[in-house]
Amino acid sequence: LGGILLARLLSPRDFGIYAVTIFVVLKLRASSELGLNVRLIHDEQPSSDAQQRSVFTLHLLVAIAAYAVAYLLAPWLAAMFQLGSGGTAFFRLVGVSILIHPLSIVPAALLARRLAYDRVTFGDLANGIVYQTAAVALAFGGFSFWSFGLASLLSDLVRVLVLNVSAPWRFGLAWDGPY
């Protein structure tokens, strides 16, 4: 239903701007995936607070580097894809999702280790509902392609919140060398 409403409210150009932007951002976000969360899931012993923080810290550092690339390339990408005024700012805004993602790595791994996929699914469902609702509301408000970007960030934050409430962990930065 949300997609149908968005198709009626937004122009093909708005969809195109978001498609190009999210493609680039998701590629950068995927490049920051290190697979260390799998170790949190499959190690024989449950992970320590230091190990969880180390995984988070490394993912955050790589995400910061990926966002820096997105931030620096934003003017060039906006010009290359002829996104017009606001294209650079939109790339940078949507790129913030790269920085949000590491906040979900540890709780998602802890839930997977406990086979609590219902809670992971609830986080994903909340993400989808919030995204559709916010995007439609913002589109009704005249936010054009910004509707997609703002809804995306809001829904990512909701997913992070749901996962962290479902699997609390001692948030922090650490470096456990052997891990």
pTM: 0.91
pLDDT at 34: 77
CA 94 to chain centre: 9
pLDDT at 179: 60
pLDDT string in tens for the chain (179-residue length): 889 999 999 999 999 999 999 999 999 888 877 777 888 898 888 889 999 999 999 999 999 999 999 999 999 999 998 988 899 999 999 999 999 999 999 999 999 999 999 999 999 999 999 999 999 999 999 999 999 999 999 999 999 999 999 999 999 998 876 66
Tokens at residue 163, please?
Answer: 């996962």
In sequence order, what DSSP letters do the residues of the chain get, joined into one string?
Answer: -HHHHHHHHS-HHHHHHHHHHHHHHHHHHHHT--SHHHHHHH-SSPPPHHHHHHHHHHHHHHHHHHHHHHHHHHHHHHHHTT--TTHHHHHHHHHHHHHHTHHHHHHHHHHHHTT-HHHHHHHHHHHHHHHHHHHHHHHHTT-TTHHHHHHHHHHHHHHHHHHHHHS---------TT-
Q: Give the end-to-end CA distance of the chain in Å, rounded to a whole number.
A: 45
pLDDT at 84: 83
